[in-house]
Amino acid sequence: MSARPLGAQTEAVRQGRTGEVEHALRAQGPLPLGPKEGFARLRVGLDALQQCIRCGMCLQACPTYLLTGLETESPRGRIHLMDALAKGRIEPTPSVSVHLDRCLGCRACEAACPSGVPYGRLIELAHGELTACAPRSRLRDILLRGVVARPRVLDLVARITSLYERLGIRRLLHATGLVRALPSRLRRLEAMYPPLTRPRYRAPAPPPAPHARVALLLGCVMRVAYGDVHTAAARVLVRFGYEIVDVPDQACCGALHAHAGDRDAARGLARRGIAAFERANVDAIVVDAAGCGAHMRGWGELLADDPAWRERAAAMAANVRDVSEQLAATDLPATLGRLRMRVTYQDACHLAHAQGIRTQPRSLLRRVEGLDLVEMPQADVCCGSAGTYNVTQPAYADALQASKVAAILSTKADAVVSANPGCMLQIASGLKARGSDLPVLHIVEVLDRALAKYASEERGETLGGRSRSAS
């Protein structure tokens, strides 16, 4: 993706003529979504908004700016819009909110910012305020609060929905081409249908002499769609001496709710998670979904206004570890198994930008004997997966997905590795659309397979040795 020349709006902001952009936006949309008092909570972030010195160093990191060259599709432009909304200079019209909605929340700008603007927190606040202004969506409430937040209901819905695949309906729709006759929104949802027929999580037996006790976040979508990835993560942790403590009361971390602007539901889920993990009394909460880990590290800020939970939330957030971070900090052998494979690694935005974890996954992969890690171009640029972005912003999502797939295929790798279920789904659907059946693996799956293969080969060699000496 190459940068577009500076647009007129960008030039205006660069020269300090920010009023021109506001004027253009005011002229675009006459329909206020609701009262601007709704932005009271965004005013909480005013100090953070003032941290932006308009240097523009974030622009070339922003996927939506790189696609459009528009100031209003850049972090700096969005910060300016949020500032104008918070101060009541502009109304939350659809023509304003669309620019905030098109933000992926990838936080690449935050990582590039020399002034420390906490962009992720600000855009989450803005989404919360825009959601409060918009008419309430009953369907969204049912999905997020009634299904995703309740593990048992989610499990039931997943089992019913999996019949679409189990009964062969999906295969039939694709084989006959009927899938192309679906309305475009439905077709997009179909392309993102999660793999609900994969095995569920099975806790491995504890190691003989554990050196630490950890809990594994099971989450929501991961729990029903990638249970075998959790199993792989747990097996690798156990192999290196961690006891996985069962936490039966845990639920969704609330990342999807916060991303959708439902901060009240996100707070409720954070409280529930904190209480559940406190009862488990573990050394760390290990997470194998980058988006969940990034959100949980922000639990302290999410509950900062709640005196009863503020300190508990901050303490719990400080104990959250991504699985690759936890493993990389462990006393590991020089070789992590054996796997003859050429792989390329995709940085999940919420791992690389939001948590600053880039080297640990790569160094773990490089320790696998026989594994060839080849870098793709722009590995840390968003793949276009961001909650429902694929459905709400199809043109942008498609462009980002196409760039990502081209970058992956250019490496001629045997598999692509990531650390976030959303990225895995987005990349798999993009590869399928290009006619590629390249496997998309989670990093713990690669490590688990490499270690298992190594162990079985070692066993084979030992048995072979024994039989030879016996004969």
| Binding status of residue 415 toward ligand SF4 by CB under 6 A | no
Q: Is the C-alpha dihedral spanning 258, 262, 267, 272 positive or negative?
A: negative
Amino acid at 81: L
Query: How far is Cα 218 from Cα 197, in angstroms, rounded to an integer?
Result: 17
Closer residue to ligand SF4 in complex, CB, 382/405: 382
What minimum distance in Å lies between the beta carbon of 219 and ligand SF4? 22
Query: How far is Cα 47 from Cα 368, in angstroms, rounded to an integer?
Result: 46
Closer residue to ligand SF4 in complex, CB, 131/162: 131
| Binding status of residue 361 toward ligand SF4 by CB under 6 A | no
> Which residues share a beta bridge with 344?
416
What minimum distance in Å lies between the beta carbon of 426 and ligand SF4? 15
| Binding status of residue 61 toward ligand SF4 by CB under 6 A | yes
| DSSP-based three-state secondary structure for 92 | coil
Put residue 412 in one of left, alpha, beta given phi > 0 → left and psi -120 to 50 → alpha: left
> Which residues share a beta bridge with 441?
417
> Which residues share a beta bridge with 373?
343
**DSSP symbols for 59-72:** GGG-HHHHHH--GG
Closer residue to ligand SF4 in complex, CB, 83/448: 83
- Binding ligand SF4 (rule: CB under 6 A), the pick from 36, 80, 107, 271 is 107
Closer residue to ligand SF4 in complex, CB, 64/326: 64
Query: How far is Cα 407 from Cα 34, in angstroms, rounded to an integer?
Result: 42
Q: b vs e for 88-124, b when ≥16 Cβ sit within 10 Å of the residue's Cβ?
A: eebbbbebbbbbbebbbbbbbbbbbbeeebbbbbbbb
- Binding ligand SF4 (rule: CB under 6 A), the pick from 43, 54, 87, 358 is 54
| Binding status of residue 291 toward ligand SF4 by CB under 6 A | no
Window of 22-30, 105-113, 193-201, 413-421 that interacts with ligand SF4 by CB under 6 A: 105-113
| Binding status of residue 350 toward ligand SF4 by CB under 6 A | no
Q: Is the C-alpha dihedral spanning 355, 306, 122, 126 positive or negative?
A: positive
| Binding status of residue 103 toward ligand SF4 by CB under 6 A | yes
Query: How far is Cα 225 from Cα 231, in angstroms, rounded to an integer?
Result: 12
| Binding status of residue 3 toward ligand SF4 by CB under 6 A | no
List of residues 6+ apart from 419 with CB closer than 8 A: 288, 289, 290, 322, 323, 324, 348, 351, 361, 442, 443
Report the largest interatomic distance among the alpha carbons of the chain, rounded to a whole angstrom.
Answer: 90
| Binding status of residue 13 toward ligand SF4 by CB under 6 A | no
| Binding status of residue 113 toward ligand SF4 by CB under 6 A | yes
Closer residue to ligand SF4 in complex, CB, 78/367: 78
| Binding status of residue 76 toward ligand SF4 by CB under 6 A | yes
| Binding status of residue 383 toward ligand SF4 by CB under 6 A | no
Window of 54-62, 323-331, 430-438, 463-471 that interacts with ligand SF4 by CB under 6 A: 54-62
What minimum distance in Å lies between the beta carbon of 52 and ligand SF4? 3
Closer residue to ligand SF4 in complex, CB, 53/463: 53
- Binding ligand SF4 (rule: CB under 6 A), the pick from 8, 40, 46, 53 is 53
What minimum distance in Å lies between the beta carbon of 264 and ligand SF4? 23
| Binding status of residue 84 toward ligand SF4 by CB under 6 A | no
The count of C-alpha atoms lying within 13 angstroms of the C-alpha of 202, restricted to the half-sphere facing its C-beta, is 5
| Binding status of residue 148 toward ligand SF4 by CB under 6 A | no
Q: Where are the alpha helices (DSSP H) in 113-191?
A: 119-133, 138-141, 151-161, 163-166, 169-176, 184-191
Window of 48-56, 125-133, 144-152, 297-305 that interacts with ligand SF4 by CB under 6 A: 48-56
| Binding status of residue 75 toward ligand SF4 by CB under 6 A | yes
**DSSP symbols for 313-338:** HHHHHTTEEEHHHHHHTS---S---E
- Binding ligand SF4 (rule: CB under 6 A), the pick from 86, 106, 144, 247 is 106
Closer residue to ligand SF4 in complex, CB, 100/413: 100
State phi, psi for 285 to the nearest 5 degrees: -105, 115
Window of 101-109, 272-280, 426-434, 440-448 that interacts with ligand SF4 by CB under 6 A: 101-109
> Is 63 in contact with 69 (CB distance < 8 Å)?
no
| Binding status of residue 132 toward ligand SF4 by CB under 6 A | no
| Binding status of residue 387 toward ligand SF4 by CB under 6 A | no
The residues that touch ligand SF4, with contacts defined as CB under 6 A, are 52-58, 61-64, 75-76, 78-79, 103-109, 112-113, 115, 117, 119
